[in-house]
Chains A and B, each alone.
Chain A
Amino acid sequence: GAGVSQSPSNKVTEKGKDVELRCDPISGHTALYWYRQSLGQGLEFLIYFQGNSAPDKSGLPSDRFSAERTGGSVSTLTIQRTQQEDSAVYLCASSLQGGAGNTIYFGEGSWLTVV
């Protein structure tokens, strides 16, 4: 597609429920990122996928968070047993490749509210 597409754009869930957030990167982009942005905070790196390489999961805040990328394209971020502190905007981004000099393009984000 023309840009990074994310769904849902807004999600309100009850504490303890699981949520799935979807990201469809720009066509042809091999690198995919998930970031989290809490109110008034900077973007926080969560996870990175590059082609068929093992993902960098170093930013995932707890084992309740997981992500996968199927077929080198669409990615799903799953949050299990959601907590109120998980409320944030979850931003997906992609770049043509993962190396230096490659611009990272962001989607509109999925706004998650845990009540």
Chain B
Amino acid sequence: GQNIDQPTEMTATEGAIVQINCTYQTSGFNGLFWYQQHAGEAPTFLSYNVLDGLEEKGRFSSFLSRSKGYSYLLLKELQMKDSASYLCAVRGPRDYKLSFGAGTTVTVRA
């Protein structure tokens, strides 16, 4: 099975940087996804890592270390609209299935 851990809540100031960590223990690994979910809305795709290293996409970057079972999502130049829940999800040995962490609620303050 999959065990995915991420912090429950984080608070940061507008314009700052926040790093959301995700650790996982898995019986097989076929990639790690980050999703953003605003309250009452569908999760929206942010990033996908399958190889070690950093993937940068505008203000958002995602890092993966498979040997450490570790990923982080980096949000730069925070804006108020970035206040949301961020979900870490691991694709396991059945490579179609995503297992999700409980999500990290990020609150951006002025």
Q: Which residues of A contact B (CB under 8 A)?
A: 4, 31, 33, 35, 40-45, 48, 50, 56, 91, 95, 98-109
Contact = CB atoms under 8 A, between A and B. Distances in A.
Contact of A31 (B41, B91, B96, B102): B96
Given A106-B44, A107-B42, A43 B87 contact: yes
Interface residues of B, number: 25
B4 interface: yes
Contacts of B31: 100-101
B87 A100 contact: no
Interface of B: 4, 30-31, 33, 35, 41-45, 48, 50, 87, 89, 91, 94-103
Nearest to A95: B96
Residue of B94, B96, B99 ringed by the most chain A CB atoms within 10 A: B96
Contacts of B99: 45
Contacts of B33: 103-104
Nearest to A49: B96
B86 to A, nearest CB: 12
Contact of A45 (B48, B50, B97): B97
A42 B91 contact: no
B95 A99 contact: yes
A31 B35 CA distance: 19
